[in-house]
Amino acid sequence: DQQVKQNSPSLSVQEGRISILNCDYTNSMFDYFLWYKKYPAEGPTFLISISSIKDKNEDGRFTVFLNKSAKHLSLHIVPSQPGDSAVYFCAASEGGSYIPTFGRGTSLIVHP
């Protein structure tokens, strides 16, 4: 049973526009959320995170929004660039765990 779901396997966006990647979770004990980015033939790299005590966290072009009541988070990339084309993984962890639970990923393609 998937506790972290990324229901869109892929997303295509025009350069300069906003990319919105979504993630839903089922475990109400999750209190820390992370986004990773993965290029082909490389391991995932940490992008941005958010604690459950916040509803928004920004880092440059990347913003993560958390809606605890809906058990939903989203990653916004503004403006999108071709170099952002990658697979994005959402991950979540609860206070009692040492490792996060990952979603299946969303492949983002940003067209020039």
Residues lying near other proteins in the complex (CB under 8 A) are found at: 6, 9, 31-32, 34, 36, 41-46, 49, 51, 89, 93-105
90 vs 110, beta carbon nearer other proteins: 90
Q: Is 84 helix (H, G, I), strand (E, B) or coil?
A: helix
19 vs 93, beta carbon nearer other proteins: 93
The CA distance from 112 to 110, in Å, is 7
Instruction: Give min distance, CB of 96 to other proteins, in A.
Output: 6
Instruction: Give min distance, CB of 50 to other proteins, in A.
Output: 10
**CA distances, 63 to each of 42, 48, 54, 60, 75 (Å):** 23, 8, 12, 8, 6
